[in-house]
Amino acid sequence: MATATATATPTKKKIKFRPTDDRVLIQPSEASDTTTGGIILPDTAKEKPQRGTIIAVGPGKLLDSGKRGEMGVEIGDEVFYGKYAGTEIEFAVDKYVVLRETDILAVVDR
């Protein structure tokens, strides 16, 4: 079972996450403050991020056979996910997204 310890930025408080089944916990990338033309955007006009880093991974989907399916992503992977996928959660001032592995659109190769 994969668990991870994430560090909240301002307070440096350690929080343990353990997603269930085929869910992953993602820390979204920061939204851009300016457009390509140099216009500064207020918080209300910023696009919702669709890219982030996996912080924690669940054990895998429970199959009909009773075994767990293998996860195709791992902690530290940078991924793209659907704009309205998952559930946003907040701890202290850090925001995260919990979503199913099937909601991940692509993994960034490095």
Summarize pLDDT for 7-19 with one digit per residue, the tens.
443 334 466 778 8
Q: What is the pTM of this model?
A: 0.72
**Model pLDDT for residues 82-93, shown as the tens digit of each residue:** 888 999 998 778
Q: What is the CATH number of the domain that holds 41?
A: 2.30.33.40
The number of folded domains in the chain is 1
User: What's the domain range around 103?
Assistant: 4-108
Higher pLDDT, 4 or 52: 52
- Degrees (nearest 5) of the Cα angle 5, 92, 53? 45
In 3-state terms, what secondary structure has residue 43? helix
CA distances from 66 to 60, 61, 62, 69 (A): 11, 10, 6, 9
Give residue 91's pLDDT: 78
- What is the rounded average pLDDT of the residues 54-65? 92
- What is the rounded average pLDDT of the residues 21-45? 77
Give residue 16's pLDDT: 75
